[in-house]
């Protein structure tokens, strides 16, 4: 089972689009952390423990202790275990890198673009830009970790320099990038630019797949024939059934991105105190399926439960699905020519 521990609501950045909502100093207690780990081990099969925030590196001591405990339990019980975390790459010392390497963490590193873009989209709370520091730390990840993924939130204002940022990452040694559209943004005037940039990046991805140094750019790589052949289709996250997120207060959500300030009781699916609410899970799944079917989008069901104008967000998802499909078709034809 995959359990994501949202270790803290605190963050040192003030991203313009932050989905985590209001930041406050509330961290997961040791007891809630341990009970969350027990939950991850409660079902047979591989165990996956991931850490999220806020910024989880703010709670590094707790992250490290919980990782050691989970690793010990797994080796005593002969269970397979995987660790992952998502970080904004502003807190990184050698000891952190050594730790992440030792426990073979899969790390998601959030970087939105070249320094100027990063400075504007993801400044520190003080307003100071985070670009220089984050690119320096990204280089350290490239040198020290075998496998990690860059997570890039894309917005209309970041599109123009996106290919430049991806190319620079590739030269630096990054081999996996996920483009995560901000579905709350107003894309109405950016369709032509988005189409051009997606076509360019789909070609980079597909061409690199012919080499020994592929650049896996999601959402294009999933449509590459080599990947389609080996995949059983992506249904997004486990949505409570075999995957859930635990808030610092011990409430369950289908996905870490839905936790926010932990006040949306309508998307909670239980708690450590009361257990899983299967009725609520079934009801939310149905609700999400209906919304997503009505606008022809696929992927992670959590998209249909995000706060804000869901109709507009799903319309944006449908547009991205269409533009991605065209870009991949175009890239396939170019590679075949
Ligand atoms: S790093 Fe993550 S949690 Fe922190 S402000 Fe940015 S989006 Fe929000």
Length of the chain equals: 337
88 CB within 6 A, ligand 1: yes
| Separation of CA 236 from chain center | 11
Cβ partners under 8 Å of residue 157, min gap 6: 117, 120, 121
Helix (H) or strand (E) holding 47: strand 47-52
Distance in angstroms (rounded) separating the CA atoms of residues 185 and 164: 22
How many other CB atoms are found less than 10 A from the CB of residue 6?
Answer: 28
Q: What is the DSSP letter of 296?
A: T
C-alpha separations of 74 from 38, 107, 299 in Å: 11, 20, 31
Q: How far is the CA of 219 from the centre of ligand 1 (A)?
A: 22
Q: How far is the CA of 122 from the centre of ligand 1 (A)?
A: 8
18 CB within 6 A, ligand 1: yes
Q: Which two tokens stand for residue 79?
A: 């269970």
Q: How far is the CA of 180 from the centre of ligand 1 (A)?
A: 14
Distance in angstroms (rounded) separating the CA atoms of residues 298 and 145: 32
Give the three-state DSSP class for 110. Answer: strand
Handedness of CA 186, 191, 197, 199 (dihedral sign): positive
In this structure, what are the phi and psi dihedrals at residue 246, rounded to the nearest 5 degrees? Answer: -115, 125
Task: Kindly give the number of the ligand 1 atom that is closest to the alpha carbon of 14.
Answer: 5
Of 115, 119, 136, the closest CA to residue 127 belongs to: 119
Distance in angstroms (rounded) separating the CA atoms of residues 287 and 279: 12
Alpha helix positions (H), 174-218: 191-208
240 CB within 6 A, ligand 1: no
11 CB within 6 A, ligand 1: yes
Q: Which two tokens stand for residue 304?
A: 């249909």
Nearest alpha carbon, ligand 1 atom 6: 15
Distance in angstroms (rounded) separating the CA atoms of residues 109 and 162: 16
54 CB within 6 A, ligand 1: yes
Q: How far is the CA of 18 from the centre of ligand 1 (A)?
A: 5
Q: Which two tokens stand for residue 337?
A: 């020519």
pLDDT at site 235: 47
Distance in angstroms (rounded) separating the CA atoms of residues 84 and 70: 13
Q: Which two tokens stand for residue 2?
A: 């995959």
pLDDT at site 337: 77
pLDDT at site 19: 77
Tell me how far apart the terminal alpha carbons of the chain are, to the nearest angstrom.
Answer: 44
Nearest alpha carbon, ligand 1 atom 8: 18
Distance in angstroms (rounded) separating the CA atoms of residues 151 and 106: 13
Is-contact 324 217, C-beta < 8 A?
no
| Separation of CA 119 from chain center | 20
Task: Kindly give the number of the ligand 1 atom that is closest to the alpha carbon of 12.
Answer: 4
Distance in angstroms (rounded) separating the CA atoms of residues 79 and 74: 5
Task: Kindly give the number of the ligand 1 atom that is closest to the alpha carbon of 122.
Answer: 6
Please, what are the averages of pLDDT over each run of 10 residues along the chain (337 residues)?
96 89 81 97 95 96 98 97 97 97 97 97 96 98 94 96 97 96 93 97 96 95 80 56 92 93 93 94 86 65 76 88 95 88
Q: How far is the CA of 15 from the centre of ligand 1 (A)?
A: 5
Q: How far is the CA of 55 from the centre of ligand 1 (A)?
A: 7
Substitution site in 8, 15, 53, 113 for ligand 1 pocket (most atoms within 8 Å of beta carbon):
15
DSSP string, 156-225: GGGSTTHHHHHHHHHHHT--EEEEEE-TTS--TT-HHHHHHHHHHHHHHHHHHTTSSS--EEETTGGGSH
How many other CB atoms are found less than 10 A from the CB of residue 170?
Answer: 17
């Amino acid at each position: 089972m995959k359990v994501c521990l949202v270790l803290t609501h605190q963050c040192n950045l003030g991203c313009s689009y932050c989905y985590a909502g209001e930041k406050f100093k509330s961290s997961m207690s040791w007891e809630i952390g341990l009970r969350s780990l027990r939950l991850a081990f409660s079902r047979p099969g591989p165990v996956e423990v991931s850490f999220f925030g806020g910024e989880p590196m703010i709670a590094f001591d707790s992250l490290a202790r919980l990782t050691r405990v989970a690793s010990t339990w797994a080796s005593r019980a002969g269970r397979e275990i995987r660790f992952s975390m998502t970080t904004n790459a502003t807190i990184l010392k050698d000891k952190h890198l050594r730790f992440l390497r030792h426990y073979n963490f899969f790390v998601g590193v959030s970087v939105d673009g070249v320094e100027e873009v990063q400075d504007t989209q993801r400044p520190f709370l003080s307003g100071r830009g985070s670009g220089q520091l984050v690119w320096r730390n990204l280089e350290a990840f490239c040198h020290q970790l075998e496998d990690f993924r860059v997570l890039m939130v894309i917005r209309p204002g970041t599109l123009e320099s996106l290919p430049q940022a991806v190319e620079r990452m590739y030269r630096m040694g990054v081999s996996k990038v996920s483009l995560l559209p901000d579905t709350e943004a107003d894309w109405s005037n950016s369709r032509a630019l988005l189409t051009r940039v997606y076509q360019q990046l789909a070609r980079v991805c597909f061409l690199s797949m012919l080499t020994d140094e592929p650049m896996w750019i999601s959402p294009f790589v999933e449509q590459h024939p080599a990947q389609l052949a080996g995949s059983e289709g992506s249904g997004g996250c486990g949505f409570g059934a075999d995957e859930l997120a635990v808030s610092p207060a011990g409430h369950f959500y289908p996905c870490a991105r839905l936790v926010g300030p932990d006040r949306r009781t309508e998307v909670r699916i239980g708690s450590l105190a009361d257990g899983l609410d299967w009725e609520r899970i079934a009801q939310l799944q149905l609700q999400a399926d209906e919304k997503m079917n009505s606008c022809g989008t696929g992927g992670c069901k959590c998209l249909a439960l995000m706060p804000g104008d869901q109709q507009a967000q799903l319309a944006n998802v449908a547009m991205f699905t269409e533009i991605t499909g065209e870009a991949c078709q175009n890239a396939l034809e170019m590679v075949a020519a």
